Amino acid sequence: MEFVTFEKVSLAYEEGGPLAIRDVSLSVRKNEFIAVVGPSGCGKSTLMKLVSGLSNPTSGYVYLNGREISGPQKCIGMAFQASNLLPWRTTLQNVMLPLEIVQPYRSQMRKKRKEFEEMARALIARVGLAGWEDKYPWELSGGMQQRASICRALIHKPELLMLDEPFGALDAFTREELWCMLQDLWREQPFTVVLVTHDLREAVFLADTVYVMSKGPGEILVRREVDLPRPRTLEDTYTEGFASQVHVLRDHIGAIRKH
C-alpha cells in the first residue's frame, strides 16, 4: 500500500524564482524506510517540507495516505541535525512535548499524566537514556541529545518519521550506534521513515530504498532498492555486498558532481 506519493512535484520558494526541486515522482509504501541522498543543496530538505505540509508544491501533487496534502500535517514526527531540545525542559519534559499538542493525548493529559510519563520513560530507557530523564539538554552529550530528539519525534506514535540529517553532527562511533538504535526501534514497532542524509553508508545501512537526487534543481536520478537482509549489523557494513551497494551510489553521486 502506498503511503506517501509524489506526482511530478516541483517547487520554487519564490514565485518565478529558481526551482528547488523539479518533477519529483516517488512513492513510499507503508512502513517502508527510504533514504534520500545527494550533494548539498539538492533540495532534500525541501522534500521533507513538502511531505510534512509545511510547504506547498508549485506544481504537481503530494499525497499522504491517499489524500492530497494541504497545510501542515498532524501526527508526523520530525528530527533534525540540531536536536532542538528546549533548554528549559528536562529530557522527560522534552520528550513529552508532543503529547501536550497532538490529539488525543492532549485532552487526556490531565487525567493520564502518570501513564504518559511511564510511556515516555519507557521510550527514553529504550534508546539508552535511562537515568538521564531529569537532566537538562545542556547536561547531555550531542549523541544523547539526538537520542532524546528521536524519542520526541516518536512518542506520539506517528505514522511517518522524517529525519533531516539527524546524525550529521555526531562523531562516527556515536553515529553508528544510533543507526542500530533507530533500526531496532523501527523493527520493533514499524513506521514509515523518510531519511535525508548525505552519508551513503548510512543510507545503505538503514534504508529499504535509496533515492539519489541531483544538484539544484533537485531531480530524482536513481531509485535503488537495498536488498540486504535485516537486521543489519555494523559487521555487515564491512562485507562486500554492502560495499558494492555503497559503491554504486557513490558512482551516481560522482557522476552528478562532474556535470
Residues found near another protein in the complex (CB under 8 A)? 49, 52-54, 72-78, 80, 82-88, 97-98, 100-103, 136-138, 142, 145, 152, 156, 162, 169
Task: State in angstroms the smallest separation of the CB of 252 from another protein.
Answer: 29
Specify the residue, 89 or 198, whose C-beta has the smaller distance to another protein: 89
Task: State in angstroms the smallest separation of the CB of 7 from another protein.
Answer: 22
Alpha carbon distance 183, 180 (integer Å): 5
* CB-count exposure of residue 254 (10 Å: 0-12, 13-18, 19+): exposed
Specify the residue, 49 or 250, whose C-beta has the smaller distance to another protein: 49
Specify the residue, 45 or 245, whose C-beta has the smaller distance to another protein: 45
Task: State in angstroms the smallest separation of the CB of 49 from another protein.
Answer: 8
Specify the residue, 16 or 87, whose C-beta has the smaller distance to another protein: 87
Task: State in angstroms the smallest separation of the CB of 94 from another protein.
Answer: 11
> Do 250 and 204 contact (CB within 8 A), yes or no?
no
> Do 124 and 148 contact (CB within 8 A), yes or no?
yes
How do strand 209-213 and strand 192-197 relate by DSSP bridges? unpaired
> Do 213 and 43 contact (CB within 8 A), yes or no?
yes
